[in-house]
Structure 1
Amino acid sequence: MIRTDANGRYRWSGYLLGFALGGFFDGILLHQILQWHHLLSAINSMDIRFQVAADGYFHAFMYVIAVAGLWLLWASRKAPDRPAGRLLLATILIGFGAWHVVDAVLSHWVLGIHRIRMDSGSPLIWDLLWFGIFGVMPLVIGWLRNGTDDDDRMQVSRSATVVRLLAGLLVIGAGAQALRPAPDNGFTTVLFAPGISQERIFRGIGAVDGRVAWTDGTGELVVIRIAAGQSRHALFRHGAILVSGAGFPAGCFDYLTTG
């Protein structure tokens, strides 16, 4: 059970922020930039709509964890014994490593929903490499640094304030990066709910003066160029469930390759 005192909140803020950072790191680097895998690459991999939705909701879950961590960090600011900034760094490392350990064991080996590098002939090597470098190593370093303290209480207070600020900025920055669509392409990717009629889809596209650049075979996943000054949010009124660039964590949309 999570401790409710200020020091407990301080520790748990680090665990949650580190865990969220691990998810953002995975999503930004492996899903978007390198495109080595998506959340459910090993399941129904030919259905782009399925992959788009899964990645979008994955990022949404990471945002929930990040917000919880930031709230706990704020709530712990009046901890009576002013824990050191290095303690927060240690717990962030533990959380970051824990994400990769959980991802490796659960996603790669137990459930088999994806591997680190789906196109590799030796996926286990990549899994173990990632597991060691980004999972075990941060966990060990964080564990060794966990519980260390300073004698100079003024220095402790200053270090805690600085680390709090840097940790918050790092998580917010990573979250903002995950929200960003692919740079300089000018397109918006939209996933409409299953069963939405083509007439309603095109009414929605027309509502934002959009032009279709690409669509999948079902017509429910479309890439459009929206006229200047139009709001992407209007698409939700016409049956869209995910829209890149509309404040929803769907940055992976615009990084997906379709051919």
Structure 2
Amino acid sequence: MSPDAVHPPSPARATAGFPWAGYLLGFALGGFFDGILLHQVLQWHHLLSAVESSAVQDIRVQILADGLFHAAMYVVAAVGLWLLWRSRRRFAEPGADRLLFANALIGFGVWHILDGVLSHWILGIHRIRMDSANPLLWDLLWFVVFGVAVAAAGWRLRRGGGGGSGGRAAPVILTPVVLTLVVLIAGPVAALPPPGVTTVMVLFKPDTTALDVFAAVAAVDGRTVWQDPSGQLWAIDLGEAGSPTALYRHGALLVSNTLLPTGCLDWFRT
């Protein structure tokens, strides 16, 4: 018999994580917002764009760093969703929707404040707009608008007090559901490759030889870019018209647009 069956958690313990659910989900959304808008859509920087080492400037390393960053945001979002589910009794309380939304805004703003202070100015691993003649201007703009202003708006909403909004049941349920859906959608979207990237990582079956790989690449009109020492993990440029799914007919176990999932599978396989 589980300990919880003998000593079930008190309502206070079960709902204590509700504020942190909002903070963590907002924080994760801040990271996903950065990844979607700045890494993928605008392509202003990668996580390690300002690191001058020639090894780090390799686009494969840049994509790997972005993938690890997204993985970290997945972990934060997963913890936030778990806390939200664990504290679901709070949904029925007046003002719960207000508190959750306010804390999510604070978390979103804190992400951008930390990113600005740590990534831009202390570590210097990237700037908001790497190609700008005045990168500090863009750093400050992002810091103030998406960091300080959003966190301050959340703090003011939280401190504004007042009970729940009129028609209590719908808003209290609606806010957690909407926040959960936004996080679940934003995560996969943030991990999509930048537009125009035609290189994919391909993990082939263990018995696939180099000749088999070259035949597969020729079949999809691609070219090999890189391989790991095992000979099973390859980077293949498919060109503009190439079809990644066609590689599955030629011995591929997994075709991915980032190094992260294929690298992890290759590590576990070995």
What TM-score does the superposition give when structure 1 sets the normalisation length?
A: 0.76
Larger Rg: 2
Q: Which amino acid aligns with 2:158?
A: N
The CA distance in 1 between the partners of 2:183 and 2:78, in whole Å, is: 9
Q: Which runs of 5+ in 2 are unaligned?
A: 1-11, 229-233, 264-270
DSSP 3-state at the match of 2:89: coil
Q: Which residue of 2 aligns with 1:195?
A: none
Displacement of 1:221 in angstroms is: 3.3
Displacement of 1:244 in angstroms is: 2.1
Using the aligned pairs only, state the percent identity: 46
Q: Which residue of 1 aligns with 2:256?
A: 243
Change (3 A) 1:221 1:163: same
Matched, 1:223 2:231: no
Change (3 A) 1:139 1:186: closer
Matched, 1:34 2:42: yes
From 150, 170, 178, the equivalent of 1:166 is: 178
Displacement of 1:97 in angstroms is: 0.3
Q: Deviations over 1:127-181 (max 9, x none)?
A: 0000000000011011111144444698444322110111011111111312334
Worse overlay, 202-211 or 16-25: 202-211
DSSP 3-state at the match of 1:189: strand
Matched, 1:8 2:16: yes
Change (3 A) 1:186 1:51: closer
Displacement of 1:67 in angstroms is: 1.1
**Does the 8 Å contact 2:18/2:84 carry over to 1?**
yes
From 206, 211, 214, the equivalent of 2:220 is: 211
Q: Which amino acid aligns with 1:87?
A: L
Q: Which runs of 5+ in 1 are unaligned?
A: 193-198, 237-241, 251-259
**Does the 8 Å contact 1:37/1:117 carry over to 2?**
yes
Q: Which residue of 1 aligns with 2:85?
A: 74
Q: Which residue of 2 aligns with 1:64?
A: 75
**Does the 8 Å contact 1:150/1:156 carry over to 2?**
no
What is the 5 A alignment of 1:1-259? 5-43=13-51, 44=53, 46-79=57-90, 82=93, 83-151=95-163, 155-181=167-193, 189-190=200-201, 203=212, 211=220, 213-216=222-225, 221-224=235-238, 225-228=243-246, 230=248, 234-235=252-253, 243-244=256-257, 248=261
Displacement of 1:247 in angstroms is: 9.8
The CA distance in 2 between the partners of 1:212 and 1:40, in whole Å, is: 31
Q: Which amino acid aligns with 1:49?
A: R
**Does the 8 Å contact 1:98/1:139 carry over to 2?**
yes
Q: Which amino acid aligns with 1:38?
A: H
Q: Which amino acid aligns with 1:79?
A: R
Change (3 A) 1:61 1:209: farther
Q: Which residue of 1 aligns with 2:7?
A: none
**Does the 8 Å contact 2:28/2:76 carry over to 1?**
yes
**Does the 8 Å contact 2:226/2:236 carry over to 1?**
no
Q: Which amino acid aligns with 2:237?
A: V
Displacement of 1:28 in angstroms is: 0.6
Change (3 A) 1:118 1:14: same
**Does the 8 Å contact 1:22/1:97 carry over to 2?**
yes
CA RMSD of aligned residues (A): 3.6
What TM-score does the superposition give when structure 2 sets the normalisation length?
A: 0.73
**Does the 8 Å contact 1:93/1:141 carry over to 2?**
yes
The CA distance in 2 between the partners of 1:232 and 1:89, in whole Å, is: 49
**Does the 8 Å contact 2:22/2:101 carry over to 1?**
yes
**Does the 8 Å contact 1:210/1:227 carry over to 2?**
no
Q: Which amino acid aligns with 2:189?
A: Q
DSSP 3-state at the match of 1:37: coil
In proportion to residue count, which structure has more helix? 2
